[in-house]
């Protein structure tokens, strides 16, 4: 009851000049947040590698700092004493907690995400079978762009309930895999060596990372998995396509026959 009377008294004491100052603070914070995001994204697009990812990761931190400073300035205008500040925060927290529970949950998860950084701008993540590059981290949602150039908005609240797979985790190291399915009657050592050479000759290859060629025998044939890293995570699809095109051409020159996983044999039983 006392807090309510304090808030009413504070609202009645707000003058026209104070309202103008409050509007300027809010407007300035919005403009500064939008401008800083656009500027940092523009600068990041001019950079490559780790420097680009560091710059993109600073965007949500800077926006959180701007909001915190704006909130402090607003409280100083409407509630200059510590008792009044506590009264305003208590009443506002109670009202928001009841009215916007899910929204507040996403905002809190967003603050946790800024601190723990399970994803950052520039990361390639998979949440609930949605894979793409993190383009923007807002207060309530993250914005990712899928390989099909579809923009998807995911609430931060998914952080509480969903598994999050991060393919590069704030670095330029994103492992790519190219698959080759072959009939079993071939020289496996020769195939492994040729596939290794195919990767080594790729223009997209990050040379200081390992190249691994794995062979797995299946009932239907031989499954080769070629693992390597592109120079930039954004090149992952060009890299895999390059490996597939040149790898198939190399294997054809060896006279190797290709197989298909899960073919139906003539007796009707299924192989996997």
Residue 129 belongs to a domain with what CATH number?
2.30.30.60
How far apart, in whole angstroms, are the C-alpha atoms of residue 160 and residue 233? 27
% of the chain exceeding 70 in pLDDT: 69
pLDDT in tens, 224-237: 999 999 999 999 99
Same-domain pairing of 212 and 130: no
How confident is the model at residue 40, as a pLDDT? 79
Under the phi-then-psi rule, with left for phi > 0, alpha for psi from -120 to 50, and beta for the rest, what region is 122? Answer: left
Residue 237 lies in a domain: yes
More confident of the two residues 220 and 159: 220
Same-domain pairing of 91 and 11: yes
Confidence of residue 211 (pLDDT cuts 50, 70, 90): very high
185, burial (CB in 10 Å: exposed 0-12, middle 13-18, buried 19+): exposed
How far apart, in whole angstroms, are the C-alpha atoms of residue 163 and residue 139? 20
With beta carbons less than 8 A apart as the criterion, state whether 117 and 53 touch: no
Confidence of residue 265 (pLDDT cuts 50, 70, 90): very low
Closest C-alpha to 56, from 120, 146, 126, 119: 120
In which domain, by residue range, is 18 found?
Answer: 2-99
Same-domain pairing of 195 and 160: no
Residues in the chain: 272
Q: Which of 16-20, 51-55, 206-210, 251-255 has the lowest mean pLDDT?
A: 51-55
More confident of the two residues 28 and 182: 182
3-state secondary structure of 5: helix
pLDDT in tens, 76-126: 776 555 555 555 555 555 555 554 555 555 666 666 666 667 888 889 999
Residue 30 lies in a domain: yes
Residue 262 lies in a domain: no
How confident is the model at residue 217, as a pLDDT? 92
With beta carbons less than 8 A apart as the criterion, state whether 128 and 98 touch: no
Residue 114 lies in a domain: no
Which range, 29-43, 81-95, 148-162, has the best average confidence (pLDDT)?
148-162
Bridging pattern class, strands 164-166 and 141-145? unpaired
Examine the pLDDT at 266 and tell me if it is beyond 80.
no
Same-domain pairing of 34 and 79: yes
Residue 201 lies in a domain: yes
Bridging pattern class, strands 221-228 and 176-182? antiparallel
Please, what is the angle between helix 188-200 and helix 236-253, to 10°?
A: 140
Examine the pLDDT at 156 and tell me if it is beyond 50.
yes
Examine the pLDDT at 165 and tell me if it is beyond 90.
yes
What mean pLDDT is predicted for residues 191-195?
96
- Domain total of the chain: 3
More confident of the two residues 256 and 5: 256
Q: Cα separations (Å) of 166 from 137, 174, 258?
A: 15, 9, 32
pLDDT in tens, 52-73: 666 766 776 677 778 778 877 7
How confident is the model at residue 263, as a pLDDT? 54
How confident is the model at residue 264, as a pLDDT? 46
Same-domain pairing of 137 and 77: no
Confidence of residue 31 (pLDDT cuts 50, 70, 90): confident
With beta carbons less than 8 A apart as the criterion, state whether 192 and 215 touch: yes
Q: What is the DSSP string of 39-105?
A: HHHHHHHT--THHHHHHHHHHHHHHHHHHHHHHHHHHHHH--SHHHHHHHHHHHHHHHHHHSHHHHH
Examine the pLDDT at 270 and tell me if it is beyond 50.
no
The mean of the pLDDT values for the chain is: 79
Return the H-helix or E-strand segment holding 217: strand 212-218
């Amino acid at each position: 009851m006392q807090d309510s009377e304090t808030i009413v008294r504070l609202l009645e004491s707000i003058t026209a000049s104070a309202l103008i100052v409050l509007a300027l603070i809010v407007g300035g914070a919005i403009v500064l947040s939008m401008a800083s995001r656009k500027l940092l994204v523009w600068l990041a697009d001019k950079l490559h590698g780790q420097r680009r990812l560091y710059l993109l990761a600073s965007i949500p931190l800077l926006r959180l700092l701007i909001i915190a400073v704006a909130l402090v300035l607003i409280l100083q205008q409407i509630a200059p004493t510590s008792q009044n500040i506590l009264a305003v925060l208590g009443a506002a927290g109670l009202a928001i907690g009841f009215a916007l529970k899910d929204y507040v949950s996403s905002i809190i998860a967003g603050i946790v995400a800024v601190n723990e950084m399970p994803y950052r701008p520039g990361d390639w993540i998979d949440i609930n079978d949605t894979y793409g590059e993190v383009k923007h981290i807002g207060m309530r949602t993250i914005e990712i762009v899928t390989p099909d150039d579809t923009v998807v908005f995911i609430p931060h609240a998914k952080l509480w309930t969903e598994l999050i797979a991060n393919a590069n985790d704030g670095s330029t190291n994103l492992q790519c895999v190219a698959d080759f399915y072959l009939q079993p009657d071939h020289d496996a050592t020769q195939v492994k060596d040729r596939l290794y050479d195919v990767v080594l000759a790729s223009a997209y290859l990050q040379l200081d990372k390992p190249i691994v060629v794995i062979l797995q025998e299946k009932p239907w044939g031989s499954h080769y998995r070629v693992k390597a890293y592109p120079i930039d995570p954004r090149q992952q699809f060009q890299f895999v396509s390059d490996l597939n095109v040149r790898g198939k051409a190399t294997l054809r020159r060896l006279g190797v026959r290709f197989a298909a996983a899960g073919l139906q044999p003539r007796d009707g039983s299924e192989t996997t």
